[in-house]
Homo-oligomer: A and B are copies of this chain.
Amino acid sequence: MPEMNLLEAIRAGIDEMMAADERVYIIGEDVGKRGGVFRVTEGLVDKYGEMRVIDSPLAESIIVGSSIGAAMYGMRPIAEIQFADFIFPAFNQIVSEAARIRYRSNGAWDVPMVIRAPFGGGIHGALYHSQSVEAFFAHVPGLKVVVPSTPYDAKGLIKASIEDPDPVLFFEHKKLYRLIKGQVPEEDYRVPIGVADVKREGSDMTVLSYGLTLHQSLEAAEQLSAEGVEVEVVDLRTLRPLDKETILNSVRKTGKVLIAYEDNRFLGYGAELAAIISEEVFEHLDGPIMRVAGADVPAMPFSPPLEEAFMPSTEKIAAAMRELAGY
């Protein structure tokens, strides 16, 4: 079984789907010869040609809007937004159009497309190359939102996303692209959308996370284990539709919850997790639902001391775990 990093796993998944299905194509800025600014689509234009790996004009609304049209025609577009921060010009197309076409046509039309975008910080990307944008989209019925955090999951989830009959937002933490390596089978497989994964079992508390903070949580859990506290770490993998059962079962077992995410705290994704838990398994809770999240400032600054102050980290998460363990 070959070892791959996150980025290579995503590329392999896309490549296999393009080879298998002529309807699949890629559109985005610099996805062709340049292979994408992070190189996720490297080499694909040579294999599939310029009409299946399309260097789009610099305009996100048409990247998404044209993909919606093509998907309604029967194609399976993979739209790349160069950085998640640049998805906002396409917000209307995603939220008013892609998300609602099935619903508003009473099921007559569908939009089977994937929108891929690298998100997240810690790479000196400053306010506009570091953001987490998943909360905006996870709020929207009609969209699916996927965030893979390991190479195995990434390949299985990108293939499932491309096949999915509904629009999928596929967010890739850019700091994980080359950081995280893992075994990825050569055989064809899928990781289903809508299923969370317990990445580490534990009985003393539940940590819910995804993306970079998931890996920080796993590291922090090791520290806590050395201190005698066993932390269960759940990788959400899909933010919408949410796998409520896996989460609620874990909370029923541990009675304590910490939610870790990099986005701004206020109304970030973790807010909904806290709301569901405090509504549905209130009687199992042995302590407050805690959150470690990004600061409530517009976005993380460039200069290293400020960036560091913004970002969640293994240390910040471990500190919160210790506090929660005290209840």
**Which residues of chain B are within 8 angstroms of A282 by Cβ–Cβ distance?**
285, 287-289
**Which residues of chain B are within 8 angstroms of A69 by Cβ–Cβ distance?**
none
State the CA gap A278–B136 with chains docked (Å). 22
- Min CB gap A301→B, angstroms: 8
**Which residues of chain B are within 8 angstroms of A274 by Cβ–Cβ distance?**
271, 274-275, 278-279
- Asked if A17 is an interface residue, CB under 8 A from chain B, the answer is no
Give the dominant DSSP class at A's interface: helix
- Min CB gap A111→B, angstroms: 12
State the CA gap A127–B142 with chains docked (Å). 13
- Asked if A151 is an interface residue, CB under 8 A from chain B, the answer is no
- Min CB gap A95→B, angstroms: 6
Considering only CB atoms and an 8 Å cut-off, how many residues of chain A contact the other chain?
A: 49
**Which residues of chain B are within 8 angstroms of A104 by Cβ–Cβ distance?**
127, 298
Q: Which of B91, B272, B280 contacts A92 (CB 8 A)?
A: B91
Q: Which of B141, B271, B288 contacts A297 (CB 8 A)?
A: B141
- Asked if A237 is an interface residue, CB under 8 A from chain B, the answer is no
- Min CB gap A39→B, angstroms: 26
Task: Give me the interface of A with B, judged by CB distance under 8 Å.
Answer: 85, 88-89, 91-92, 95-96, 99-100, 103-104, 127-128, 135-136, 138-142, 240, 242, 264, 266-275, 277-280, 282-283, 285, 287-291, 296-299
Sample of 10 more A-B contacts, CB < 8 Å, known A135-B267, A141-B296, A274-B278: A99-B298, A103-B127, A103-B298, A141-B266, A141-B297, A142-B298, A267-B267, A267-B272, A271-B275, A275-B291
Q: Would you give 11 A-B contacts (Cβ < 8 Å), ordered by A?
A: A88-B92, A100-B298, A103-B299, A104-B298, A139-B264, A139-B266, A267-B271, A271-B275, A275-B291, A279-B291, A282-B289
